[in-house]
């Protein structure tokens, strides 16, 4: 059974909400020392990347400002090169990129 695009967009949006909740009271230094938090955030980033892969090209082309390939690529790195995860970079993504993606995802969800 094929899932509706809205389901995948909700997975992205909800995962961002979880990451925000997880990291809300942590500094970068605390994040870099907390393996459990790193694991939780990494898992949610994997879910975001996987959900992006299920979105049709048609939807992605309608929203070219979202770096779809980069998001999916991040998931691949986290899954296949887990031993080389750059948690400084992950923190930067969490604090700088995810708020933008959350806003963009919400705008798409509101339209469909």
pLDDT above 50: residue 45:
yes
- Given the residues 75, 91, 98, 105, the one annotated as active site: 75
pLDDT above 80: residue 81:
no
- Please name the residue ranges forming H helices in 1-112: 5-23, 28-33, 35-54, 57-62, 68-80, 87-92, 98-111
Active site residue 75: yes
CA dihedral 33, 36, 41, 45 (to 10 degrees): 120
For the chain, the average pLDDT equals 91
Across the range 91-99, mean pLDDT stands at 94
Handedness of CA 11, 110, 72, 3 (dihedral sign): positive
For residues 57 and 43, give the distance between their C-alpha atoms in angstroms, rounded to a whole number: 24
């Amino acid at each position: 059974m094929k899932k509706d695009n809205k389901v995948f967009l909700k997975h992205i949006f909800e995962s961002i909400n979880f990451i925000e909740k997880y990291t809300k009271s942590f500094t970068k230094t605390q994040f870099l020392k907390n393996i459990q938090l790193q694991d939780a955030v990494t898992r949610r980033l994997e879910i975001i990347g996987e959900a992006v892969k299920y979105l049709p090209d048609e939807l992605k082309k309608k929203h070219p400002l979202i770096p779809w390939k980069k998001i999916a690529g991040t998931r691949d790195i986290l899954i296949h090169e887990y031993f080389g995860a750059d948690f400084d970079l992950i923190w930067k993504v969490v604090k700088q990129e995810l708020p933008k993606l959350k806003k963009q995802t919400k705008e798409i969800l509101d339209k469909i």
